[in-house]
Amino acid sequence: MSVITWGLLAKSQIDNETIEEAIARLIAVHNEDETAHLGSGQSLQSHKASEIIDHVVASIVADKIKNGEITRSHLSPDAVVLLTENFDKGNIIDFVDFSSSTSGSGYINKTFRISHVKTGTTQNSVAKIYTLFGISGNMWYPTGNLEFAFFYRIGEYWGYEVQPGGEIYLKFGSGTNADMGSSSDKCFGLKLEDQANGRIKVTGFARDLSDLSTLVLATDLQLTDDYVFLIKKAGSSFYFYINGVFVGEIINSISGSVGSPYLTHVAKNPLAGSESEGQLNSFSYYIPLSF
């Protein structure tokens, strides 16, 4: 008696398609269905929604990452300095060689990883550090793009135990003033201002000589917490981010150049009895070298 393999049997008495052929046909239809496994609870949907997608160590290679997709917010403060033909990208963690000055009862601590500035309670006391960038003109190039990221911690005792009113400035510009710049300055940056009850108001600013534009970005930042303040310039627009979240935009018509641009970290105490304290842990930048 001959034996017929199960898969070679006809599917039914009225359909000569074999079971094996039917299975192959249905698998082909499934493979061509671009929506397969995307339903709720199904494998591809679960894969897309997983917080962590595990792969074999070292299995992700560079050619799988689109050019320009990795930003500094995804790099650690210890990331290496990257140099390309047209851009300067760097990370500053050594503040020892920065210039510094104090007035009143100001205090400065410059170390390999920390720029710590603090005022006393004397009115108008100032503590600041600053450095001169060797690149000029880039900051006000009308169509030029650049980024600055400040890795920052607000001081533990900043005005909280005494009268509020302390101020911190993180700025890049033509001067190192302890404010948003005078009518002869070109600068942009952040002002952190101590409010009542431990609230910290953050204002972004951009000044082109006498034209000063400001925008309150966020409130209720916390003392002793760490923040990443990111400023992106694209043409005449300045975009501000706090911990990777977009918080505001300033549009300021800019022109001309800056012969000697400075990065400045400054604490100022405009009120008697208050004080200001902050810690810059790292600073990253992205500056065009040519236009």
Question: What does CATH list as the number for 72-288?
Answer: 2.60.120.200
- Region at 220 (left for phi over 0; alpha for psi -120 to 50; beta for the rest): left
Q: What is the pLDDT of residue 82?
A: 47
- Yes or no: say if 269 and 150 are a contact pair by the CB < 8 Å rule: no
Mean pLDDT in the chain? Answer: 82
The residue among 77, 123, 101, 112 whose CA lies nearest residue 266 is 101
Alpha-carbon distance 227 to 229, whole Å?
6
Q: Where are the beta strands (DSSP E) in 19-133?
A: 82-83, 87-92, 99-103, 107-110, 115-118, 125-132
Segment 212-268, tens digit of pLDDT: 999 999 877 887 788 999 999 887 889 999 998 899 999 987 777 787 889 999 999
pLDDT at 205 over 90: yes
Laid out side by side, the sheet with 167-173 consists of: 99-103, 125-132, 262-269, 167-173, 186-194, 200-208, 211-218
The domain ranges of the chain are: 6-49, 72-288
**What is the rounded distance in angstroms from the CA atom of residue 128 to the CA atom of residue 106?**
8
**What's the pTM value of the predicted model, to 2 decimals?**
0.69
Percentage of the chain exceeding pLDDT 90:
27
CA distances from 234 to 145, 146, 180, 238 (A): 5, 7, 20, 7
Give the residue-averaged pLDDT of 29-58: 79
